Amino acid sequence: MRLISIDPGYDRFGFAVIDKDIKGNQHLIFSGCIETNKKDSFEERLYQIGSELENIIKRHKPTALAIETLFFNTNQKTAMNVSQTRGMVLYIGKKFGLDLFEYTPLQIKVAITGYGRSNKDQIISMIPRLIKISGKIKYDDEWDAIAVGLTCFAHERFNYQ
């Protein structure tokens, strides 16, 4: 089972491609962040993210997509733009025939640490205990995308035929 998991954003868009084999072992295949230029228009940034996401899906051929639900903060413009980014991701997921799964920050925290009020450092310290990370992860957005994928595998039952 191959999954692409997403931490949506438009400054930095975190993603991870994770496999889970029939024995339940999880393997991080590829992860990273798509960074956009703050000087570009939002539409240009959305196009860049969408194009790169489509290329990642074409290259790695996942069968499912997991995404974090939107956490509303006090900045409404940011919330609206992240919401539009999520919509684009869900559209691309359906376009490629992927099964779609969404998880709240609370579900992710519980799945990774067992505690719904865990902080970012606790989540980041737990992830390497759940899946092997080779290479350096620079941004929280990438850690978040990996956490979304691990949450999906913890919550869903997949048919491995």
Residues forming the active site: 7, 68, 141
Is 19 within any annotated ligand binding site? no
Residue 85 token pair: 């980014």
Is 7 within any annotated ligand binding site? yes
Residues in Cβ contact with 68 at an 8 Å cutoff, skipping those fewer than 6 apart: 6, 7, 8, 102, 103, 104, 105, 108, 144, 148
Is 141 within any annotated ligand binding site? yes
Tell me the C-alpha distance between 148 and 144, whole Å: 6
**Beta carbons within 10 angstroms of residue 45's beta carbon:** 21
Question: Would you say the C-alpha torsion 4, 107, 95, 37 has a positive or negative sign?
Answer: negative
Binding region: 7, 68, 141
Residues belonging to the binding site for Mg(2+) are: 7, 68, 141
